[in-house]
Amino acid sequence: MEKENSNFKKADEFLQMFKRGEEFTKALLKDNEKLRYNIVQLEEQLQRAGNEERIKLFEERIAQLEQELSSYHERFREVEAENRDFALKYLEVEEENNNLANLYVASYQLHSTLDFSEVLRVVLEIVINLIGAREFTIFLIDEKTDNLLPVAAEGLETSSVPRVRIGQGTIGTVAREGESFFSENITEAKEVNLNEPIVCIPLKIKDHIIGVISIYTLLTQKAGFTNIDYELFNLLAGHAATAIYSSRLYTQSERKLTTLQSFLDLLKEKTVR
């Protein structure tokens, strides 16, 4: 009996010990779970810390790229402005080229011949084709009579244009003063008024005036004068004057030479006989 009691007691002690073991195991499991939870939390914190670092890096990179972008925008604006400048300069250069070509052709043609009538034809061509005049006259000064004689005309008969005394009217005044005349209403003149030219250009070799180009009307499509027209007027004032003067001298000397040659031939013939 006593032995049986001792066995019961041992069994009870074992049961108690087993229960404590169970509670201890449960406590361990709970701690384990807590620790796992802590590990997960720590891992999350670590990851978050890593992400923040990366975000910071990204933000810095974005700021850097934004700065680069704004500098590129700035450069783009500069290049655009430069392009606009270049385009404008290109147009200016083109215009300048065209003007130079016009001036070159005009002066080349004026000095391409020593024939007086040919030079007059070139002057007429320049005034019609390059300036756009429809009706005009070229006057030359007759030094014996102090009159301006019409030597060529376009749009009207040369013979129908009267002589002009130096100092008389607009044409005569231009021949005396040597200053170009431009009417304020150049496009309004639709019919020829020989006393009221719209433009008068003196033909001058330095200060020596040899004649006047007098324009009465312009071509329908000519809306007004541009810079190149004024350049052409200047060119005509000087180069046309030189070309006309030298061709006239050359023609006169050629004529004299022919006369002298005929005279010499005649003398030779007489000497031989």
Partner 1 sequence: MCNILIVEDSPTMRQLISFAVKRIRGASAIEANDGVDALKKLLSNKIDLILSDINMPVMDGIKLISLVRGNPAYKDIPIIVITTEGAEEDRRRAFAVGANAFIPKPIQTQELIKLANKLLEKSAGSSL
Does residue 120 belong to the site contacting partner 1 (CB under 8 A)? no
Closest distance to partner 1 from the beta carbon of 230 (Å): 14
Contact flags string 96-115 toward partner 1, x per CB under 8 A:
--x--xx-xxx-xx--x---
Binding residues among 58-97 for partner 1 as defined by CB under 8 A: 94-95
Q: Give the binding range for partner 1 (CB under 8 A) out of 13-21, 82-90, 217-225, 253-261.
A: 217-225
Considering the rule CB under 8 A, would residue 234 count as an interface residue with partner 1? no
Residue of the chain from 87, 88, 219, 257 that contacts partner 1 (CB under 8 A)? 219
Can you give the three-state secondary structure of the chain, one letter per residue? CHHHHHHHHHHHHHHHHHHHHHHHHHHHHHHHHHHHHHHHHHHHHHHHHHHHHHHHHHHHHHHHHHHHHHHHHHHHHHHHHHHHHHHHHHHHHHHHHHHHHHHHHHHHHHCCCCCHHHHHHHHHHHHHHHHCEEEEEEEEEECCCCEEEEEEEECCCHHHCCCEECCCHHHHHHHHHCCCEECCCCCCCCCCCCCCCCEEEEEEECCEEEEEEEEEEECCCCCCCCHHHHHHHHHHHHHHHHHHHHHHHHHHHHHHHHHHHHHHHHHHHHHHC
Region of 16-24, 141-149, 169-177, 213-221 interacting with partner 1 (CB under 8 A): 213-221
Give min distance, CB of 218 to partner 1, in A: 10
Q: Give whichever of 109 and 170 is closer to partner 1, judged by the CB atom.
A: 109
Q: Is 128 in the site for partner 1 (CB under 8 A)?
A: yes
User: Site residues (CB under 8 A) for partner 1?
Assistant: 94-95, 98, 101-102, 104-106, 108-109, 112, 122, 125-126, 128-132, 134, 219-222
